[in-house]
Amino acid sequence: MNSPTIQTVAIYARVSKDDQDALNQMAELRGYCEKQGWPIFAEYIDEQSGGTEKRSRFQQMFEDANKRKFDLVLFWALDRFRREGTLPTFRHLERLNNAGVKFKSYTEQYIDSAGVFGDVVIAILATSAKLERARISERTKAGLARARAQGKVIGRPALSTATKEKIRALRYQGLSIRQVATKAGVSIGAVNKVLSANSHEPKVNLK
């Protein structure tokens, strides 16, 4: 019998040309849906790398998910769904969850938001993603600290004296802050910073 919450299913697969294993996997996924009594709304199959979001069928799947055209996305394994690590993978699974669509890995039984432990699965993935964000942040901070210790300049380079003088001259000619920024080739924030450094020039004037 159909699950009370799963009426239609979408199958997602990432394959390469002449991939016999992928063909066998698709057959098993179809068979599993049939056994569960789940009608298949569509099969979203991409013949591209799993390390990029630029997969037409992958994107189409999310568009249809947002329209609630199916209740669950079934895939063979996470490495056939996404290859960029815990954080990017969770973000996509979270997108499905936010759209009200469940997800299930056929070969990884613990990755199943449609099961009785669905909330636990979401919580575990969220925690894993949070830990990965923390690791990325720590690696970034360590890298910046190492670069500073080696004498490298972090952030945007300081404006030259000539550029600062040009900014003041252009503003003196009556140009707007935006026009000054365009002609000097700098940001509006940089113009405001230069003008406010030694004057009472208002910080925002985009006219």
Q: When comparing pLDDT for 89 and 126, which is higher?
A: 89
pLDDT computed for residue 2 by the predictor:
47
* Number of separate helices (H) and strands (E) present in the chain: 8, 4
Contact 42, 13 (CB under 8 A): no
Whole-prediction pTM: 0.57
Residue 130 has pLDDT above 70, yes or no: no
From the number of C-beta atoms within 10 Å of its C-beta (0-12, 13-18, 19+), residue 20 rates as exposed
Residue (of 175, 5, 177, 176) closest to 101 by Cα position: 5
pLDDT computed for residue 160 by the predictor:
85
